[in-house]
């Protein structure tokens, strides 16, 4: 017997596939990870042609459609009635659908609630600097939060709010299928890894979520309050970049 969670996931998948079929996507071909992760067009590179490029393009479009369907569900969500009443925008996530790495934060703050985009306030500016120190750009990474609505006074998410949003952030990660996930802070690490271990104990270790390798570090907001911890985050980023094969 399938569990209730399994049934509702299957129902959602069926609805997504029906929506994809209505949009003309009748078939989701299987390809190897290298083809899947290959960017279709990188800046300054010739546009690839041929069957592999066509397959990769089909998959990217399908991922985009699947994320669009999920983001529409999020925009209409009222599972946490208090958060839904107070929000200006839901904040779904942003980045390429074939990103190698996803950065998972906690929840939108005031700037994110106002704009509908993740990590655009002071913590977001610091996250941009961290990403750029890793010789990456924001445009190359996917950024999302555990919660899609702003909690009042930026308090940490409640367990029932995380449970209500789990299908959304887990769904995004399932669709994007990144190679790496970087959990920013306690809430993200606890929600993704379903642990209560302290963030200090979760650092400097590798975990897995689906097919992704997961690393945990301090949240940029914590760094704004404790700049001395930037050194530890830099150590975490070096560990991550070494694993990703990015030369710093």
Residues of this chain that bind ligand URA (CB under 6 A)? 105-109, 112, 118-119, 121, 123-124, 145, 221
Report in angstroms how near the CB of residue 165 gets to ligand URA at its nearest.
Answer: 13
Closer residue to ligand URA, CB minimum distance, 95 or 121? 121
217's enclosing H/E stretch is strand 212-217
DSSP structural state of residue 213: E
**Measured distance CA(137)–CA(125) in Å, rounded:** 12
Q: List helix spans (H) across the chain.
A: 4-22, 33-37, 51-76, 81-86, 110-115, 122-133, 159-176, 186-193, 199-202, 220-225, 230-244
Closer residue to ligand URA, CB minimum distance, 65 or 222? 222
Report in angstroms how near the CB of residue 57 gets to ligand URA at its nearest.
Answer: 30
Return the exposure string of 212-237: e unless at least 16 CB atoms fall within 10 Å of the residue's CB, then b. bbbbbbbbbbbbeeeeeebebbeebb
Report in angstroms how near the CB of residue 39 gets to ligand URA at its nearest.
Answer: 25
Closer residue to ligand URA, CB minimum distance, 16 or 230? 230
101's enclosing H/E stretch is strand 101-105
Closer residue to ligand URA, CB minimum distance, 95 or 109? 109
Please provide the DSSP assignment of 175-212 as one string.
HH--SEEEEESHHHHHHHHT----HHHHTT--EEETTE
Closer residue to ligand URA, CB minimum distance, 97 or 186? 186
Report in angstroms how near the CB of residue 118 gets to ligand URA at its nearest.
Answer: 4
Closer residue to ligand URA, CB minimum distance, 123 or 240? 123
């Amino acid at each position: 017997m399938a569990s209730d969670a399994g049934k509702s996931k299957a129902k959602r998948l069926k609805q997504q596939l029906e929506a994809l079929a209505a949009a003309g996507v009748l078939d989701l071909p299987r390809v190897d990870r290298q083809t899947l992760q290959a960017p279709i067009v990188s800046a300054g590179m010739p546009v690839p042609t041929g069957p592999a490029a066509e397959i990769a393009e089909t998959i990217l479009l399908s991922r985009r459609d699947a994320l669009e369907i999920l983001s529409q569900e999020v925009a209409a969500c009222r599972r946490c009635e208090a958060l839904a009443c107070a929000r200006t925008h839901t904040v779904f996530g942003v980045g390429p659908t074939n990103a190698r790495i996803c950065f998972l934060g906690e929840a939108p703050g005031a700037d994110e609630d106002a704009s509908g985009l993740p990590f655009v306030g002071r913590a977001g500016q610091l996250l941009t600097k961290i990403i750029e120190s890793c010789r990456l750009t924001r445009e190359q990474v996917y950024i999302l939060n555990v919660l899609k609505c702003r909690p009042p006074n930026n308090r940490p998410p409640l367990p029932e709010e995380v449970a209500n949003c789990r299908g959304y952030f887990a769904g995004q990660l399932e669709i994007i299928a990144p190679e790496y996930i970087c959990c920013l802070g306690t809430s993200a690490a606890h929600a993704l890894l379903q642990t209560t271990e302290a963030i200090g104990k979760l650092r400097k270790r590798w975990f897995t979520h689906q097919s992704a390798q997961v690393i945990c570090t301090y949240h940029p907001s914590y760094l704004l309050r404790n700049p001395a911890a930037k050194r530890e985050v830099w150590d975490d980023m070096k560990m991550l970049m070494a694993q990703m094969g990015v030369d710093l």
